[in-house]
Amino acid sequence: MNTYGEKTGRLIEEFGRLPGIGGKSAQRLAFYIISQKPERAEALANAILEARRGVTYCSVCQTMAESDPCAVCGNVNRDPSAIMVVEDPRDMAAYERTNEYNGLYHVLHGAISPMNGIGPNDLRLRELLDRLRGGMVNEVILATNPNVEGEATALYIAKILKPLEIKTTRIAHGVPVGGDLEFVDQVTLARALEGRREI
Chain centroid to CA 128: 15
Among 35, 77, 121, 186, binds a copy of itself (CB under 8 A): 35
Minimum distance from residue 126 beta carbon to a copy of itself (Å) = 19
Q: Are 103 and 125 in contact (CB under 8 A)?
A: no
Give yes or no for residue 58 binding a copy of itself (CB under 8 A).
no
Instruction: Identify which of residues 6 and 165 has a Cβ nearer to a copy of itself in the complex.
Output: 6
Rounded Cα distance, 17 and 30, in Å: 13
Give the DSSP letter of residue 114: G
Q: If binding is defined by CB under 8 A, does position 46 make contact with a copy of itself?
A: yes
Smallest gap from Cβ 11 to a copy of itself, in A, equals 4
User: Quick one: 59 or 138, whose CB is closer to a copy of itself?
Assistant: 59
Size of the site for a copy of itself (CB under 8 A): 56
| Spatial distance between the Cα atoms of 108 and 94, rounded to a whole number of angstroms | 15
Amino acid at 80: P
Query: Hey, is 86 helix, strand or coil?
Result: strand
93-152 binders of a copy of itself (CB under 8 A): 93, 96-97, 109
As measured in angstroms, the least distance from the Cβ of 89 to a copy of itself is 6
Q: How far is the CB of 30 from a copy of itself (least distance, A)?
A: 6
Amino acid in the structure at residue 32:
Y
57 φ, ψ (degrees, to nearest 5): -100, 140
Query: Nearest distance from residue 168's CB to a copy of itself, in Å?
Result: 26
Provide the angle, in degrees to the nearest 10, between the axes of the packed helices 6-16 and 23-35: 130
Q: Is 33 in the site for a copy of itself (CB under 8 A)?
A: yes
Please give the residues from 75 up to 94 whose contact with a copy of itself meets the rule CB under 8 A: 88-90, 93
Q: Assess contact for 153 and 112: CB atoms under 8 A.
A: yes
CA–CA distance from 80 to each of 68, 108, 153, 191 (Å)?
17, 18, 23, 31
State the residues that interact with a copy of itself by CB under 8 A. 3-8, 10-11, 13-15, 17-21, 25, 27-36, 38, 40-55, 64-67, 71, 88-90, 93, 96-97, 109
